[in-house]
């Protein structure tokens, strides 16, 4: 594939491209950085838009703007987030005239229809939501029952339609990239799963389609809504990243009590670049330094995700090297091992259980806390991006975008990789 070839042979062009993608995804400019640092308040006169994602005070302000009592905003809040009403006209507790005026002004609830629902034997449910522009986005609900019989429901949410980073083992990366999701399009994934499971989502992981750090502004807005409006504890939310220069520190500055999960997948830079092409623009030492800052700023332990690929990164020697890397950067880390989920057209293979156990034991014996993630819902095309690719095969990022991004000046490379 032409873009990939260009990336393989030209690290500077790759980093410049990364920078261009970052800019196109809304994280690249100082101006945008300022917006990320402080989510702007709702303007006095609200432009018509989507109700999902709005806070209670936003909704109260909206009610006042329509000449209603303030408490109508509180009602709207309850109807949207507790009753999960999907259409303006179904907000039947508020006066018909108010509903009509909202609709005439162009307001809508902002819930997308479920295009496809697939349930795996273990209860994992994968949904495809059809967005307003007909793009499909994946979300996964993973129910887990503990020994006492209480059920935890984890929502694995997407932050982009597709992903521009093209990690070599990832079905989403192979499907290309279309656009960032808006915060309400992230929040509605959780509401859709709550409706399907008829229970509350207890945990949210930003580990679905897309790189959350390339859409940090909307991810932070969605995080606010999930925490404050849907009442999911910050500690129950995990934001994952494969590593985007300058964004971990930016996230740390918000001092959220959420977990940062960094997809490492290799114990050294050379192997990492092979598995995660975008790693060329973000050296391992810089990532580890930023993770240390995250720990210092938030007192939250960083989780390192490590996908085990048979014969590539799964030997005991790799585990020893990983332990040495983590010890170099101090305590406060956890390793989450993920045996690779086979995907169509991939040259990678799932490691044998014996290799997974040996890798895990080598880390444990070196005092690294480690867990092995259970594979869930394999029969529901569980690998991230597989289900969407099955139903939407249109290319998402045109070659023109790639070529344009390769022409970014070298000075921008420095900005992209500076921490």
CB 131 within 8 A of CB 185: yes
What are the structure tokens assigned to 106, written together? 């162009």
* Window 384 to 403, contacts with ligand SF4 (CB under 6 A): 384
Comparison of 54 and 155: residue with beta carbon closer to ligand SF4: 155
Asked if 179 touches ligand SF4 (CB under 6 A), the answer is: no
Q: How far is the CB of 24 from ligand SF4 (least distance, A)?
A: 15
CB 405 within 8 A of CB 363: no
Q: Is 101 helix (H, G, I), strand (E, B) or coil?
A: helix
Q: What are φ and ψ of residue 338, in 5° steps?
A: -125, 100
Closest to 121 measured CA to CA, from 387, 323, 382 = 382
Distance in angstroms (rounded) separating the CA atoms of residues 32 and 14: 22
Q: How far is the CB of 242 from ligand SF4 (least distance, A)?
A: 4
Q: How far is the CB of 247 from ligand SF4 (least distance, A)?
A: 12
3-state helix, strand, coil in the chain (%, to 5): 45, 15, 40
Q: How far is the CB of 228 from ligand SF4 (least distance, A)?
A: 27
Closest residue to ligand SF4 in the complex (CB): 173
Token look-up 């006209």 returns 89
Q: Which of 25, 138, 170, 273 is catalytic?
A: 138
Burial of 101 (0-12, 13-18, 19+ CB in 10 A): middle
Q: How far is the CB of 306 from ligand SF4 (least distance, A)?
A: 12
Asked if 166 touches ligand SF4 (CB under 6 A), the answer is: yes
Distance in angstroms (rounded) separating the CA atoms of residues 294 and 299: 8
Q: Which stretch binds ligand SF4 (CB under 6 A): 40-48, 116-124, 162-170, 192-200?
A: 162-170
Q: How far is the CB of 381 from ligand SF4 (least distance, A)?
A: 15
Mask: binding to ligand SF4, 26-55, rule CB under 6 A, as x and -? ------------------------------
Comparison of 75 and 238: residue with beta carbon closer to ligand SF4: 238
Mask: binding to ligand SF4, 188-227, rule CB under 6 A, as x and -? ---------------------xxx----------------
Q: Which of 163, 167, 291, 384 is catalytic?
A: 384
Asked if 163 touches ligand SF4 (CB under 6 A), the answer is: yes
Residues pairing with 177 in the sheet: 162
CB 308 within 8 A of CB 340: yes
Asked if 264 touches ligand SF4 (CB under 6 A), the answer is: no
Residue 347 annotated as catalytic: no
Asked if 167 touches ligand SF4 (CB under 6 A), the answer is: yes
Q: Which stretch binds ligand SF4 (CB under 6 A): 28-36, 160-168, 293-301, 330-338?
A: 160-168
| Half-sphere CA count of 121, side-chain side, radius 13 A | 3
DSSP 346-371: ----PPPHHHHHHHHHHHHTTT-EEE
Give the DSSP H or E segment for 312.
none
CB 46 within 8 A of CB 54: no
Comparison of 213 and 226: residue with beta carbon closer to ligand SF4: 213
Residue 384 annotated as catalytic: yes
Mask: binding to ligand SF4, 228-247, rule CB under 6 A, as x and -? --------------x-----
Binding site for ligand SF4 (CB under 6 A): 163, 165-167, 170, 172-173, 209-211, 242, 384
Query: Which residues are marked as active site?
Result: 138, 384
């Amino acid at each position: 594939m032409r873009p990939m070839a260009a990336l393989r042979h030209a690290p500077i062009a790759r980093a410049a491209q990364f920078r261009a993608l970052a800019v196109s995804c809304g994280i690249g400019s100082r101006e945008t950085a300022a917006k990320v640092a402080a989510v702007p308040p709702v303007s006095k006169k609200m432009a018509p838009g989507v109700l999902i994602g709005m806070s209670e005070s936003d909704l109260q302000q909206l009610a006042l703007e329509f000449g209603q009592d303030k408490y109508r905003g509180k009602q709207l809040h309850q109807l949207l987030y507790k009753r999960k009403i999907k259409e303006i006209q179904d907000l039947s507790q508020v006066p018909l005239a108010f509903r009509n005026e909202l609709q005439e002004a162009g307001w809508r609830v902002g819930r997308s229809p479920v295009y496809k629902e697939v349930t795996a034997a273990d209860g994992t449910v994968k949904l495809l939501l059809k967005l307003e522009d007909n793009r499909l986005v994946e979300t996964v609900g993973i129910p887990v029952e503990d020994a006492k019989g209480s059920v935890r429901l984890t929502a694995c949410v997407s932050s982009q339609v597709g992903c521009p980073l093209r990690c070599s083992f990832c079905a989403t990366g192979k499907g290309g990239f279309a656009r960032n999701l808006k915060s309400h399009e992230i929040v509605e994934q959780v509401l859709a799963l709550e409706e399907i499971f008829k229970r509350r989502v207890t945990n949210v992981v930003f580990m679905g389609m897309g790189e959350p750090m390339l859409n940090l502004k909307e991810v932070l807005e969605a995080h606010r809504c999930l925490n404050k409006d849907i009442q999911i504890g910050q500690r129950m939310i995990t934001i994952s990243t494969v590593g985007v220069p300058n964004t971990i520190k930016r996230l740390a500055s918000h001092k959220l009590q959420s977990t940062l999960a960094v997809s490492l997948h290799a114990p050294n830079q050379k192997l990492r670049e092979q598995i995660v092409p975008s790693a060329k623009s973000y050296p391992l030492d810089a990532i580890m330094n930023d993770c240390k800052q995250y720990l210092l700023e938030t007192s939250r332990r960083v989780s390192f995700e490590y996908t085990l690929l048979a014969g590539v990164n799964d030997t005991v020697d790799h585990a020893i090297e990983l332990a040495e890397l983590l010890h170099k950067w101090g305590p406060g880390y956890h390793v989450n091992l993920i045996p690779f989920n086979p995907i169509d057209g991939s040259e990678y293979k799932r490691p044998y259980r014996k290799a997974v156990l040996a890798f895990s034991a080598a880390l444990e014996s070196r005092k690294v806390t480690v867990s092995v993630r259970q594979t869930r819902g394999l029969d529901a095309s569980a690998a991230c991006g597989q289900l969407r690719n099955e139903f939407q095969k249109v290319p998402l990022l045109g070659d023109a975008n790639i070529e344009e991004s390769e022409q970014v000046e070298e000075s921008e490379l420095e900005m992209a990789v500076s921490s």
